[in-house]
Amino acid sequence: MSLPRRLGWIPGGILIALLIWFTFSVWGADRPIGASTAISYMGGWLFGLQESEYFQKIKGSGAWEVLFLIGVLIGGSFTSLFITKTFKFRVLPPLWRKHKNESVASRLIWSFIGGFLVVFGARLAGGCTSGHFLSGASQTAVSGLIFGGVVIVVLIVTGRLFYKNL
């Protein structure tokens, strides 16, 4: 079995730097990278809350972030299908099967709980990891750098607690 092709960290870093530069520039979106406001924006549209004060406040950034997320989906799909050729649709990833269980319901419940906590935390913090870390740290904002460090520590601790037998 051969390993899938992966993008090295240097080209990956260059591509992220170009994405950030283009997003911040007047030739691109002329705004920072973010994604979590798209959830509130889509919720406002789904539940007919376009006239609410909060929706009016987020409608510009929310609309942009929906487009940004569509681009992320298209770019990720394109990369996994045509560049790394690693696309696989799985409800139960191998790591889950090995260290947790074979239950699809368990996987879906934990995925929902994790997704809810991530979105809730992002809205509570006033932005998501892409906004706080990519945009903040790229501008050397102390809050963005602290946030990035905290995220890395929490990821390690959570991974160790959730997958105890790794």
Domain ranges of the chain: 1-89, 92-166
pLDDT beneath 50, residues of the chain: 1, 3
The whole-number pLDDT of residue 165 equals: 65
pTM as predicted = 0.72
CA atoms within 13 A of residue 160's CA, in its CB half-sphere: 6
CB atoms within 10 A of CB 89: 4
Supply 150's token pair.
Answer: 């905290």
C-alpha span between 35 and 90 (Å, rounded):
24
The whole-number pLDDT of residue 1 equals: 45
